[in-house]
Amino acid sequence: MRSGEELDGFEGEASSTSMISGASSPYQPTTEPVSQRRGLAGLRCDPDYLRSALGCLKVAQVILALIAFICIETIMECSPCEGLYFFEFVSCSAFVVTGVLLILFSLNLHMRIPQINWNLTDLVNTGLSTFFFFIASIVLAALNHKTGAEIAAVIFGFLATAVYAVNTFLAAQKWRVSLRQQSANDYIRARTESRDVDGRPEIQRLDT
Residue-level pLDDT at 185 = 66
How far is residue 47's CA from residue 122's CA, in Å, rounded to a whole number?
A: 19
> Residue 69: how many CB atoms within 10 A of its CB?
22
> How many angstroms separate the CA atoms of 74 and 116, rounded?
38
* Angle subtended at Cα 205 by Cα 204 and Cα 208, rounded to the nearest 5 degrees: 145
| Percentage of the chain modeled with pLDDT above 70 | 68
Top-confidence range, 54-68, 141-155, 168-182: 54-68
> Would you say residue 90 has pLDDT above 90?
yes
| 8 A C-beta contact, residue 86 and residue 142 | no
Residues 6+ apart with CB under 8 A from 25: none
CA distance 36 to 15: 37
CA–CA separation, 126 and 54 (whole Å): 11
Reported pTM: 0.68
Q: Measure CA 81 to chain center.
A: 37
**Does the pLDDT value for residue 4 go beyond 70?**
no
User: Residue 69: its pLDDT value, please?
Assistant: 96
| Contact in structure between 100 and 62 (CB atoms under 8 Å) | no
Encoded amino acid at 207, one letter: D
Helix (H) or strand (E) holding 59: helix 53-73
Neighbours of 46 (CB within 10 A): 14
Sign of CA dihedral 94, 71, 49, 130: positive
Choice between 117 and 206, residue whose per-residue pLDDT is larger:
117
Specify the 3-state DSSP secondary structure of 200.
coil
